[in-house]
Amino acid sequence: MKAICFLCEKTVRLDDNSLLAKKLRNNPLKTYLCNECRERITLHTLERLAKRKEKEAPSPSSAPPTDCTSAHS
C-alpha cells in the first residue's frame, strides 16, 4: 500500500498486512506522517513542553520556607 506524508508529501510503501496500513484503509480520513516528520514533530513538542515547565516552575527564592518542627507543634 502506498501512503503519502501530508507534511512533506513523500510517498512511502507500507506492508499491506501492517497495522498502520489497515488503519489507513479502514479510515481514510486518518493522516499519515513519515518517520522523519513524526520525529521532528515529537522533538519540537517535547522542547515546547520543557520550556513551559521551566516557566511554570517557581524559583527556589520565591517559595515559602518550610519548617518541619513547627508543623508538629
- Model pLDDT, residue 58: 65
- Model pLDDT, residue 32: 87
* CA separation for the pair 36, 20 (Å, rounded): 16
Task: Answer for the pair 41, 33: CB distance below 8 angstroms, yes or no.
Answer: yes
**pTM of the entire predicted model:** 0.58
| Amino acid, single-letter form, for residue 26 | N
* CA separation for the pair 24, 32 (Å, rounded): 8
* CA separation for the pair 13, 32 (Å, rounded): 12
Task: Answer for the pair 53, 45: CB distance below 8 angstroms, yes or no.
Answer: no
pLDDT in single tens digits along all 73 residues of the chain: 888 888 998 998 989 999 989 988 888 777 888 999 999 999 999 999 999 888 877 666 655 656 666 555 5
